[in-house]
Chain A
C-alpha cells in the first residue's frame, strides 16, 4: 500500500501511488493536459487466424488457455447485462480451474450477481477489481479485504484509461447477444439482447486479446457489427450469457413516492422557467425513478409549448422511445438501453443512435457529446454546501455503486441534481461530502423537497428564473433545516486509514479516495 499522499485541489488527501503506479492528485477542472500518444493493440497477422473466418473454440476455458492467460493479467468485461450477467462468474471459475492467480478484473461495472467472485478474491485468483462494485462486492471492498486498491472511474474515464495506456487489458471477454464465427457482434437481437455494446468498444480496440462470448451464433455476416470481428481473436458459444428478466425490466418504473414526484415535477418546471426548454434543445436523464418521472413531466410541458428537442441522451427506456416516436425529439443518442422498448427502437429506428463512451464522454479526445447537452439530470448520494457531490459511497462510508457517466455529464451546460434533502434520517445535503466525486463548480442546481438551491456562481441562471414561483433557497439553509429535522448534524463515518478505492476524475487525476469502513463498536458506549 502506497504510504505517501497529498492534498489535492479540492482539499482531499489522496494517494500518489496506486497498485505500484504513480498517479497525479486532482488539480482542478481543466487544469491537467495529457501528453504523448494513444496506446495501441499488438500488430497481428492473418496467417495466425483461420482463413475460414471461423474463430469458434470449444469453451471459455479453452479460449483462456489459447489466449495464454497467466498470473497477474488484466481481464475485462462489460456491464450491459447489469445484474443479469452470466459470463463473468464462469470466466473466473475457468481461470481458477486453470490455476491462474493475481488477476486484475477490469469490469465496466460489477453487480450483486457477481458475489461469487468474492470466493476468487479470497483464494487469490483475483488480486483486485478496478471498476464500480455493487452490493456484496462493494461491502467486501469497503471492509478492506481486497489485496489491491480498487480504482473507480466514470465511463469516459475508463475509456480514457484504456486509450492513454494507464490500463492495459490482456484479455477482453465480450458477452455478445448475437455474433458470427468471425467475431462480429451486436446486441440488437438474441435472447440476451441489450441494445448496444458501447462499454466493450474500447476493450475490443485496445486489448491484447479479445474473446467474444455468445448464446446466439449466426452465420457470417453479423450485421450491424457493433463490435468488429477484425478485432476479435476467438469466439465461444455458451448456453446462456444473460438473464433477460434482469437485463431489461424492473428498472424502468416511474417513482410513486409523492416526494420524488414533487421533486421531478419541480425539475421540469425549472427547465421550463429558466428558458432551457426551447426548440432544438437537448437534455440527458438517467433511468432512475425520479429521472423517469421528470421526463414524463417535461414531455407534457414540451407538448403544451409545442417544443421539440434536437436530441435526448439516454439510458433509453420506453418513456424516451415514446418521445422519439411522438416527434418530441429528433434523435435519441443512447449509451445504454434499459428495457425492451429501448432495444426494439434501437434496432428499428435510425433516429435512435447507439453511442459509446468515446463519443459521449471521453475527456482525452477532440470534444465529446456531454458538454453539448443543455441540461443534465443526475443523482447523488450527498451534496455539500459548496455543491460538491458524491455518488459512490453512503454517508457511512460504504461503497454504494459506481460513477457511471455521472462525472462526464457534469460538463453539461446546466447540471441539475433532483434529490431528497433527507431520507429516513439520512441527510443528503451535508456540510462536507463523504467522498468528492464531482467538484461544486460544475454543479449548478440542487432540487429538493425542501427547496431549490442554485449555485451562486451561476448568476445567469439566477437571472433567468427571476419570474419563477419555484421555491429557491440558499443551500446552507436547506442543510440547516435537515440537521434540525434529524436532531443534529450527522456524525462522520468511522473510517480506518487504509484506502480501499481511489476515485479518478475524468482526466485521470485522483479527486478523492474511499477508506476502509470500521465495524460498529457497540462497546464504546
Chain B
C-alpha cells in the first residue's frame, strides 16, 4: 500500500549510472495518483533482456505494493537480483513500509552450511554497494567473501547496500567460500542484521569491537532473528579489534560468545587510534597483533590478520603473509582476487613442516592400529592437540 504523506519525498532514486558503471542500474520511482506503472527503460542489454526487465520491475513493484508510479531505469547490465534490490531500495526511500521486502528466489548458495572449523586463510572484501565485484568472487576460490556494509559503503548508500547484500546472499553462488557479512557499528549494525541475518550468512563480522557487550548485543539480535525465521543453522561471529581499548580487552572479546570462530585485527584504524602511521615493517602494531593472536588461541578461536592493501606488489604480499604466519595468524584479509593464490601459497606448509606433520600423523595412525592410548614419535610423546594440528597441516597441503 502506498501512503503518501507530506513528510515523504515525491520521488526517490537508488543505484548507479554513468559511463563507467557496469553490472548495476539506476532507478527512479515517482509515485503518481493513478494510471498504473509507467516505465521508461534505457538498457545496454535492451535487445536481449528488455522485455524481461520490464516484467521484472512490474512484478517487483506489485510485490512491494506500489500500484501507480512513473519509473525511470538506466541499466548497465545489472542481473535480476540487482535490479530488484535497486527498485526495493528506491521504494524504501520513498518512506513506504515494505515489511520484509521482496525476497528473490533462493539460489545454490542458500544451501551451503556454515562450518565452525575451516580454512580462513583468505577473506575477500566485496564493497556492499557494488554488484560487479560480487558476481564472480566465488570463482577465484577465496576461503571467505565478506559482503561489506561498513567502511566500503558511503553513509548515504548504506540503506541501499543492505538490500543489495541481502539479495546477493540469496542469489549469488559464492561456491565454497564462507559467506560473511561485515555489519556496521552499533544500532545501524542491528538494523543491518534485521535485513540480512536470516539469509544463510555463515559469519557476521563485527567491526571496531571494544567490549564483550558489543559482541553479545549482536549475538542476541542474531539469535532472535533466527528464532523468528525458524532457522536452526548456526551463524558464527568474528569480532574485529581496531583500537587500543579493543586490543587490551582482546581475550574478553574473544570469549564473549560460544559462536565466535575467529578474532580479527584491523590495522588502519588501530594505528590511527594509537596515534601513529601504519608502516610496512609494522613495529607499531606488533604488540596489538600478538595480543590478538594470543587472545584468540587462548580462547580456542582463529586469529586473523588485517588486509594487505597494495594490490600491485605480490612479492610484498607474500612476505607479509609469511610474517603473519610466523606470528601465529591463520589468515589474512584481501581486497583483490589476484591476492588469493599468493596468500594460499604462502600459508601452505613448507616441505619441512609437511614432512614433520606426516610423521606425526603416521605415528598417530600407528598408535590407533595398535590400540595404544598414547602416541609417540621416537622417545617423545605427542599430545592430541599436536596431532590435530598436524592433521590440519596435511589438509592444508591437500593430503
Nearest residue, chain B, Cβ from A520: B46
Is A487 a contact partner of B56 (Cβ separation < 8 A)? Answer: yes
Chain A: how many interface residues by the 8 Å CB criterion?
25
What is the CB-to-nearest-CB distance from B75 to chain A, in angstroms, rounded to a whole number?
8
For A261, list chain B residues within 8 Å (CB).
Answer: 338
Evaluate whether A522 and B41 lie within 8 angstroms (CB atoms) in the complex, with A262-B140, A449-B136, A487-B56 already known. yes
Is B47 a contact partner of A493 (Cβ separation < 8 A)? Answer: yes
- A250 in the interface, Cβ–Cβ < 8 Å? no
Is A425 a contact partner of B47 (Cβ separation < 8 A)? Answer: no
What 1/0 flags go to A239-270 for Cβ under 8 Å of B? Answer: 00000000000000000001101100000000
Is A491 a contact partner of B51 (Cβ separation < 8 A)? Answer: yes
Tell me which residues from 41 to 63 in chain B have a Cβ below 8 Å from any Cβ of chain A.
41, 44-52, 54, 56
- B22 in the interface, Cβ–Cβ < 8 Å? yes
Evaluate whether A426 and B23 lie within 8 angstroms (CB atoms) in the complex, with A258-B338, A486-B79, A487-B80 already known. no
Nearest residue, chain A, Cβ from B24: A424
Give bound CA distance, A427 to B49, whole Å: 11
What 1/0 flags go to A489-525 for Cβ under 8 Å of B? Answer: 0110110000000000000000000000000101001
Is A258 a contact partner of B47 (Cβ separation < 8 A)? Answer: no
Nearest residue, chain B, Cβ from A430: B48
- B40 in the interface, Cβ–Cβ < 8 Å? yes
Chain B: how many interface residues by the 8 Å CB criterion?
29
Give bound CA distance, A424 to B23, whole Å: 5
Is B79 a contact partner of A258 (Cβ separation < 8 A)? Answer: no
- A464 in the interface, Cβ–Cβ < 8 Å? no
Is B50 a contact partner of A487 (Cβ separation < 8 A)? Answer: no
Is A487 a contact partner of B49 (Cβ separation < 8 A)? Answer: yes
Evaluate whether A525 and B54 lie within 8 angstroms (CB atoms) in the complex, with A396-B47, A487-B79 already known. yes
A258, A259, A427, A525: the one contacting B51 at CB < 8 Å is: A525
What 1/0 flags go to B110-122 for Cβ under 8 Å of A? Answer: 0000000000000
What is the CB-to-nearest-CB distance from B14 to chain A, in angstroms, rounded to a whole number?
18
Is B80 a contact partner of A490 (Cβ separation < 8 A)? Answer: no
Tell me which residues from 5 to 59 in chain B have a Cβ below 8 Å from any Cβ of chain A.
22-23, 39-41, 44-52, 54, 56
Give bound CA distance, A424 to B25, whole Å: 11
Nearest residue, chain B, Cβ from A395: B48
B132, B139, B337: the one contacting A450 at CB < 8 Å is: B139
Residue among A258, A261, A490 with most chain B CB within 10 A: A258
Give bound CA distance, A490 to B53, whole Å: 12
Give bound CA distance, A485 to B45, whole Å: 14
Nearest residue, chain A, Cβ from B336: A258
Give bound CA distance, A423 to B76, whole Å: 11
Give bound CA distance, A79 to B337, whole Å: 37
Give bound CA distance, A481 to B293, whole Å: 42
Tell me which residues from 406 to 441 in chain A have a Cβ below 8 Å from any Cβ of chain B.
423-427
Nearest residue, chain B, Cβ from A490: B48
Tell me which residues from 385 to 411 in chain A have a Cβ below 8 Å from any Cβ of chain B.
395-397
Nearest residue, chain B, Cβ from A491: B48
Is A494 a contact partner of B47 (Cβ separation < 8 A)? Answer: yes
Nearest residue, chain A, Cβ from B137: A258
For B49, list chain A residues within 8 Å (CB).
Answer: 425, 486-488, 490-491
What is the CB-to-nearest-CB distance from A494 to chain B, in angstroms, rounded to a whole number?
6
- B235 in the interface, Cβ–Cβ < 8 Å? no
Is B51 a contact partner of A426 (Cβ separation < 8 A)? Answer: no
For A427, list chain B residues within 8 Å (CB).
Answer: 48
B40, B50, B76: the one contacting A424 at CB < 8 Å is: B76
Give bound CA distance, A397 to B48, whole Å: 10
Is A425 a contact partner of B77 (Cβ separation < 8 A)? Answer: yes
Is A396 a contact partner of B136 (Cβ separation < 8 A)? Answer: no
Nearest residue, chain B, Cβ from A485: B79
Nearest residue, chain B, Cβ from A450: B139
Give bound CA distance, A491 to B49, whole Å: 6
Q: Which 6 A/B pairs are nearest by Cβ-Cβ distance?
A: A424-B77, A490-B48, A396-B47, A258-B337, A425-B77, A487-B80
| Contacts A/B (CB < 8 Å), 23 sampled | A262-B139, A396-B46, A424-B22, A424-B44, A424-B45, A424-B76, A424-B77, A424-B132, A425-B44, A426-B44, A426-B48, A449-B136, A485-B135, A486-B49, A487-B80, A488-B49, A491-B51, A493-B47, A494-B47, A520-B46, A520-B47, A522-B41, A525-B50
B residues sitting closer than 8 Å to A (CB atoms) are 22-23, 39-41, 44-52, 54, 56, 76-80, 132, 135-136, 139-140, 336-338
Q: A487-B52, A522-B40 are in contact. List 18 more A-B contacts (CB 8 A).
A: A258-B140, A258-B336, A397-B47, A424-B77, A424-B132, A425-B23, A425-B48, A426-B44, A485-B79, A486-B79, A487-B79, A487-B80, A488-B49, A488-B52, A490-B48, A491-B48, A520-B50, A525-B51
